[in-house]
Amino acid sequence: MNLSSPLLLATETVTDETYAKAVITALLLTAGMIFVLSTLLGELCSRLNLPTVLGDLTTGILLGGSLLGVFVLTDGSEGINTTLLRVIGWLTNAPPETVVNAYRFQMRDFFSNSASIGLLSLLFVTGIESDLKELIKVGSQAATVALTGVLLPLMGGTIALVYGFHVPIIPAIFAGAALTATSIGITAKVLQEMGKLQSKEGQIILGAAILDDILGIVILALALSLIETGSIELTAIIVLVVKAAAFILLAFILNRYFCPLFSSRIESFNNPAALMLFALAFLNLLALVAIGLGLEALLGAFAAGLVLGGTRQKERLLQLIQPFVFVYTTVFFVTIGASVNLDVLNPLDPKNWSGLVIAAGLIAIAITGKIAAGFTVFGNGAINGNGAINRLAVGTGMIPRGEVGLVFAGLGASTGALSDSLDAAIIIMVVITTVVAPLLLRWVFPSEPETSSSGAAKPI
């Protein structure tokens, strides 16, 4: 650096520095607001016995372009909160255009990349927590419920959208696929509070939900591939299904044979960062293999989780990934909320009516599809000596769509596959199913005093 030309210095170095400062300021300010608001709203949800993910979603809707304009993901500078831009300019002494460029970089580039990291972290953790051994125990009843609970809403949703609402076939399949997932978190919590987690119904719900995760993520990967190729040739779909099945099978095999090797190798490291970094490198590797096979990176992340869930370091790994989930998955769900175009939800505007009717239709299919799946449970559950199985309770427990449903909505919006109104309809469906399921479940599955599981004698 040559100080003999202070003017050159002022235009060159200072501007770069000012831009860098505006970039970090935009990040600190927007991320800080996201963290505070999502924690407070998540806490509110938690006290209302709702999943905290709804708090993240609401944070995104509040901060997004439709309302406060703090977290504006679309191109252009309209809709950005001018006070926010002025604060960044005031803190950094940067000129307005530098501020807008720095803000745009954080929103469009950095946060979208961070949201991808959030999605991969979420699916990695989902994979780690999907205990394959437990799954095999729960067996065929859960498998029946899971399969019908995936197929009925998928087919019902797609057919209704194509023939009832004249939605093109690919977005219709994508929206139908969004109806397949089951979010187990909320149901598990309600069942636990009711003391029914160990009941036959509870066990079937849990097993079916784990299977639903696997099926849902495979279907998501397939649906995204459909969007990318833009065709729905039957042979192409069959090839994809075979590849995805082979990929998940590979994960099952690695879970069995690779985990002991990984566990013992990793224990020989002094470096405390080794477990974290190797696990992430393994995630990256399987995600790259998935991409190379024409599948999705998220399927690789999920498979990596399925594999490493079998290691002795499973619990430590979950601890290490947890902070990433706290931060990045929050960013991911906030991003989904921020992408909601609230205008399409205004019921006073006649051009929104068809979208709102679609949302109502999706909700009806989402609820009836899972309840119908509950009635496919065979036998009467007398194994446990608890009398007939409450099939209605099994179906009701599968209703909440939660995170995985939102993943569909988020990726549907970011790939441009879904129209604004169809995207909003999916999000409404996810929110409604997630909120009503606990209420319905308490109603159809009344707590008996001292209900006992595992065959212990009842007190009257």
Tell me, residue by residue from 344 to 383, as one string, x for binding to a second copy by CB under 8 A and - for no binding: ----------------------------------------
Tell me, residue by residue from 109 to 148, as one string, x for binding to a second copy by CB under 8 A and - for no binding: xx--x--x--------------------------------
SS3 content of the chain, % helix, strand, coil (to 5): 75, 0, 25
Residues 279-298 that bind a second copy (CB under 8 A): 280-281, 284-285, 287-288, 291-292, 297
Q: Judged by CB under 8 A, which of 139, 164, 168, 379 binds a second copy?
A: 168
- Return d(Cα 154, Cα 178) in angstroms, integer: 8
Q: What CA dihedral angle connects 320, 123, 400 and 54, to 10 degrees?
A: 60
Q: How far is the CB of 312 from a second copy (least distance, A)?
A: 18
Q: How far is the CB of 28 from a second copy (least distance, A)?
A: 4
Q: Judged by CB under 8 A, which of 265, 416, 448, 456 binds a second copy?
A: 416
Q: How far is the CB of 52 from a second copy (least distance, A)?
A: 6
Q: Applying CB under 8 A, which part among 74-82, 153-161, 349-357, 408-416 lies near a second copy?
A: 408-416
- Does 446 bind a second copy (CB under 8 A)? Our answer is no
Which tokens in the block code for residue 346? 């205004």
Which tokens in the block code for residue 436? 């009503």
Residues 308-347 that bind a second copy (CB under 8 A): 319-324, 326-327, 330
Q: How far is the CB of 22 from a second copy (least distance, A)?
A: 10
Tell me, residue by residue from 34 to 63, as one string, x for binding to a second copy by CB under 8 A and - for no binding: -xx-xx--xx--xx----x--x--------
Cα of 243 vs its chain's centroid, Å = 23
Report in angstroms the alpha-carbon separations of 33 from 41, 68, 174, 436: 12, 11, 32, 29
- On whether the CB atoms of residues 206 and 275 are closer than 8 A, the answer is no
Which segments of 93-183 does DSSP mark as H helices, in order?
96-104, 111-129, 132-159, 165, 169-178
- Does 31 bind a second copy (CB under 8 A)? Our answer is yes
Which tokens in the block code for residue 153? 């809403």
Among candidate residues 105, 53, 82, the one with its CA nearest the CA of residue 334: 53
- Does 67 bind a second copy (CB under 8 A)? Our answer is no
- Return d(Cα 173, Cα 162) in angstroms, integer: 9
Which residues on neighbouring strands pair with residue 219, listed in sequence order? none
Residues 75-94 that bind a second copy (CB under 8 A): 90-92
Question: Among residues 37 and 150, whose Cβ is nearest to a second copy?
Answer: 37
Residues 231-260 that bind a second copy (CB under 8 A): 231
- Return d(Cα 118, Cα 333) in angstroms, integer: 9
- Return d(Cα 153, Cα 443) in angstroms, integer: 23
Q: Judged by CB under 8 A, which of 81, 101, 104, 105 binds a second copy?
A: 105
3-state secondary structure of 71: strand
Q: Applying CB under 8 A, which part among 127-135, 252-260, 264-272, 354-362 lies near a second copy?
A: 264-272
- Return d(Cα 21, Cα 448) in angstroms, integer: 61
Q: Judged by CB under 8 A, which of 230, 350, 455, 459 binds a second copy?
A: 230
Question: Among residues 302 and 445, whose Cβ is nearest to a second copy?
Answer: 302
Question: Among residues 19 and 445, whose Cβ is nearest to a second copy?
Answer: 19
- On whether the CB atoms of residues 404 and 416 are closer than 8 A, the answer is no
Q: What is the CA radius of gyration of the chain?
A: 24
Scanning the structure block, which residue is given the tokens 């139908």?
176
Question: Among residues 285 and 388, whose Cβ is nearest to a second copy?
Answer: 285
Q: How far is the CB of 141 from a second copy (least distance, A)?
A: 32
Q: Judged by CB under 8 A, which of 14, 342, 364, 388 binds a second copy?
A: 14
Q: How many residues bind a second copy (CB under 8 A)?
A: 82
- Does 418 bind a second copy (CB under 8 A)? Our answer is yes
- Does 11 bind a second copy (CB under 8 A)? Our answer is no
Q: How far is the CB of 424 from a second copy (least distance, A)?
A: 15
Which residues on neighbouring strands pair with residue 64, listed in sequence order? 71
DSSP string, 414-437: HHT-S-HHHHHHHHHHHHHHHHHH
Residue 106 DSSP code? I
